[in-house]
Structure 1
């Protein structure tokens, strides 16, 4: 059981988010709105089945998946992707295949979750803290 990941996580710091959003094709207006938001992620784990809810004042999204099984994902900005998620230790790797491929990695260390988003040459790092 991935107890280390389960819980509520609040964004506390971000770098390179605008560059990442540009790389995946998000327009300027949506990028400006998204940059101003501090999302909360709720991670639920039951065996190999995971649910990640991303809550914002703009739009809420949810993905539910079984580790290693491909599923269709629609991102908050409307991109339709084929996604597969794997777990390596305390690192969740979300591989998204679509018009622009990207890899989202969530790595946990105690009460901190570091999320790294990569597409083309853009790399974004988002730091979350466990909410109490």
Structure 2
């Protein structure tokens, strides 16, 4: 099922990303850098492992995981979290937990568009990507 997500995805629009980062406790300087970057995400599948690389002019992160198995992750804003990624109703659902907190990152593909919905507390951020050529 993760095969639908395979490809290179370029950010085309973002709504409430600064609010999301602020809610997470990201510093003002990092939030400003994060708000101005236009990251690309590369998703690949090899056997039962999925690799997700997010790259921008500021930072590149990479995670490799098996769907449904918890793993340790260091986020772009340097949080050390326990993550688990599952497929639910055609969506890639990424849960991050740390210090009694939880955030979700839900990816959904429709044709050549990928929508990433980030939720933490009462803040919901939507980031829209288009498949690279």
Question: Normalised by the size of structure 1, how large is the TM-score?
Answer: 0.96
Counterparts in 2 of 1:22-41, with a 5 A limit? 22-41=22-41
Judge which range, 26-35 or 85-94, deviates more: 85-94
2:116 matched to 1:115? yes
- Unpaired runs of at least 5, structure 2: none
Q: Deviations over 1:65-113 (max 9, x none)?
A: 0000000000011000000000124210000001331000000011000
**Does the 8 A contact of 1:4 with 1:110 survive in 2?**
no
Counterparts in 2 of 1:17-96, with a 5 A limit? 17-96=17-96
**Structure 1 SS opposite 2:5:** coil
**Does the 8 A contact of 2:2 with 2:87 survive in 1?**
no
Query: How many corresponding residue pairs?
Result: 132
CA distance in 2, matches of 1:3, 1:56: 23
Structure with bigger helix share is: 2
CA distance in 1, matches of 2:32, 2:122: 20
**Does the 8 A contact of 1:9 with 1:131 survive in 2?**
yes
**Does the 8 A contact of 2:72 with 2:83 survive in 1?**
yes
Measured after TM superposition, the shift of residue 25 of structure 1 is: 1.0
- Unpaired runs of at least 5, structure 1: none
**Does the 8 A contact of 1:101 with 1:119 survive in 2?**
yes
Measured after TM superposition, the shift of residue 2 of structure 1 is: 3.2
CA distance in 2, matches of 1:109, 1:119: 24
CA distance in 1, matches of 2:64, 2:126: 23
Computed over aligned residues only, the root mean square deviation of the Cα atoms, in angstroms, reads 1.1
Measured after TM superposition, the shift of residue 4 of structure 1 is: 1.6
